C-alpha cells in the first residue's frame, strides 16, 4: 500500500497536515473525489440534477416536481438510494405513496468506473441511463450513455497518444 509511504513523503516535504487515507484509492474515487491523470471516469460526467423524493411522499406531489422528467430517485434521510419510480408507475393515483409504486433493487455504478467500459456494457444491455452512487449507496447523480459517448469521443480526440 503506497498511502503510508506517500504520507511520510509529504511530511518530509514540509506539508503540515498529512493524513493516511487508509480506505485506499478506489474508495477515494468511489466518492467522486479529485484524482490525477486524464482517465475519463463516470464521476466526471455524472448529472447531479436528478429529481428525488422520499418513500412517504405522495405520487401527485412527486409528479408536480418532475417538470417533464420521467423518473424520480427514492432516497432515505441519508440520501441512500432506496428505489426508483418511472414510466407507468408515475401515472398512479395522486394519493398513492411512493413506496407503493417504486422499484426496488436498482442497479447502480460507482464514479470510479471507466467511461468506455461502462458505456460498452450499457450499449450491449440496451441501457440508456444508470444511477451513480458512492460506496455507501448515497446518490451522486445520473449517468447518461448518449452524453457519455459524445464526451468519450471528445476525450479520445484530445488525448491521442497520452497516458490514461
For the chain, give the percent of residues with pLDDT over 70: 92
Closest listed residue to residue 106, CA positions, set 143, 74, 134: 74
- Report the pLDDT value the prediction gives residue 55, as an integer from 0 to 100: 95
Residue 87 pLDDT exceeds 80: yes
Provide the grid cell at 43: 464521476
- Euclidean distance between CA atoms 74 and 102, whole angstroms: 8
For the chain, give the percent of residues with pLDDT over 90: 60
- Band of residue 12 on the pLDDT scale cut at 50, 70, 90: confident
pTM over 0.75: yes
Question: Regarding the domain delimited by 31-158, which CATH topology (the fold level of the hierarchy) does it fall under?
Answer: CBS-domain (3.10.580)
- Euclidean distance between CA atoms 53 and 60, whole angstroms: 12
What is the domain partition of the chain in residue ranges? 1-30, 31-158
- Report the pLDDT value the prediction gives residue 161, as an integer from 0 to 100: 61
- Report the pLDDT value the prediction gives residue 1, as an integer from 0 to 100: 45
Sheet strands side by side (includes 139-144) = 108-109, 129-133, 139-144
Residue 58 CB burial class (10 angstroms; 0-12, 13-18, ≥19): middle
Average pLDDT of every residue of the chain: 88
Upper half-sphere CA count for residue 37 (Cβ side, 13 Å)? 10
Q: How many Cβ atoms are within 10 Å of 82's Cβ, its own excluded?
A: 18
Confirm if 82 and 47 have CB atoms less than 8 A apart: no
Provide the grid cell at 63: 409528479
Provide the grid cell at 162: 497520452
- Euclidean distance between CA atoms 54 and 56, whole angstroms: 5
Provide the grid cell at 54: 422520499
pLDDT digits (tens, 9 = 90+) for 13-28: 888 887 766 777 777 7
pLDDT, greater one: 147 or 164: 147
Confirm if 70 and 90 have CB atoms less than 8 A apart: yes
- Report the pLDDT value the prediction gives residue 163, as an integer from 0 to 100: 54
Amino acid at each position: 500500500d503506497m498511502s503510508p509511504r506517500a504520507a511520510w513523503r509529504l511530511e518530509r516535504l514540509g506539508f503540515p497536515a498529512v493524513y493516511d487515507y487508509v480506505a485506499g484509492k478506489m474508495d477515494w474515487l468511489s466518492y467522486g473525489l479529485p484524482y490525477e491523470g486524464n482517465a475519463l471516469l463516470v464521476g466526471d460526467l455524472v448529472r447531479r440534477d436528478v429529481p428525488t423524493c422520499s418513500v412517504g411522499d405522495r405520487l401527485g406531489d412527486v409528479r408536480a416536481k418532475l417538470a417533464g422528467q420521467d423518473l424520480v430517485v427514492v432516497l432515505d434521510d441519508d440520501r441512500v438510494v432506496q428505489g426508483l419510480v418511472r414510466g407507468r408507475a408515475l401515472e398512479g393515483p395522486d394519493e398513492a405513496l411512493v413506496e407503493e409504486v417504486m422499484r426496488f433493487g436498482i442497479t447502480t455504478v460507482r464514479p470510479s468506473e471507466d467511461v468506455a467500459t461502462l458505456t460498452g456494457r450499457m450499449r450491449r444491455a440496451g441501457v440508456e441511463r444508470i444511477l451513480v452512487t458512492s460506496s455507501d449507496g448515497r446518490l451522486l447523480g445520473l449517468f447518461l450513455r448518449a452524453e457519455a459517448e459524445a464526451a468519450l469521443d471528445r476525450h479520445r480526440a484530445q488525448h491521442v497518444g497520452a497516458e490514461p
